A = this chain, B = another copy of it.
């Protein structure tokens, strides 16, 4: 699909742009990322991404390499926090990587920024996209601060099967731990506990969910 049609579909402001501002199409490309490949790190203004295929993961990273997943982006969703030059008020570091093999439309950060400085609707759109994610992040923070790890793990497993359908969470304990910002040992211990209660079955290729309702009782 030509960029013009893609942007008309995803950006509510697109039709209001002048032909001149639609030069964003000339500053666009389709980029592919292999599984686990970094899409964006904190320092650059990588640009605005629209997920075409696959899934992106946004996360925080500590100095000693500890991660915590903030949220994931599916096809049709837009990554605005990777365009730090568009959003000067965002001063924190965020990292983005491809969770699976992914394809994205990418608009150059400086080009998008220039249009957003000229056209208030575009600026508005970018800010609105950022504040929406603010709510997602607060939900994660609430889990971290106020919830016990068993509750967080139960929510995580339920979210995973809701997103990917089926009853398998195809991840290693290490990967789950990374999402939750904890140690692998903690996840392993908790899963063993869930398994002995008949909630899950720990298999070689991942976690099989046996009892969604009991898991929900823990989660909510």
Listed in ascending order, the chain A residues whose CB lies under 8 Å from chain B are 60, 62-64, 66, 68, 87, 89-92, 120-121, 123-124, 127-128, 130-132, 134-135, 137-142, 144-146, 181
Closest residue of chain B to A91 (Cβ to Cβ) is: B135
Q: Does more than half of chain A's interface fall in helix, strand or loop, or is it mixed? A: helix
Closest residue of chain B to A135 (Cβ to Cβ) is: B91
Q: Which of B62, B130, B139, B181 contacts A92 (CB 8 A)?
A: B139
Whether A92 lies near B124 (C-beta < 8 A) is: no
A59 to B106: give the CA distance in the assembly, Å.
36
A135 to B89: give the CA distance in the assembly, Å.
7
Copies in the complex: 2
A128 to B117: give the CA distance in the assembly, Å.
13
A87 to B131: give the CA distance in the assembly, Å.
8
Minimum CB–CB distance from A120 to chain B (whole Å) comes to 5
Q: Which of B92, B120, B121, B142 contacts A138 (CB 8 A)?
A: B92
Whether A146 lies near B89 (C-beta < 8 A) is: no
Minimum CB–CB distance from A179 to chain B (whole Å) comes to 12
Whether B142 lies near A141 (C-beta < 8 A) is: no
Closest residue of chain B to A81 (Cβ to Cβ) is: B134
Q: Which residues of B contact A90 (CB under 8 A)?
A: 131, 134-135
Could you jot down 24 A-B contacts, CB within 8 Å?
A60-B138, A62-B142, A62-B146, A68-B145, A89-B131, A89-B135, A90-B134, A90-B135, A92-B134, A92-B135, A92-B138, A92-B139, A120-B121, A120-B124, A124-B127, A127-B131, A130-B134, A131-B131, A134-B134, A137-B137, A137-B138, A137-B141, A140-B141, A146-B181
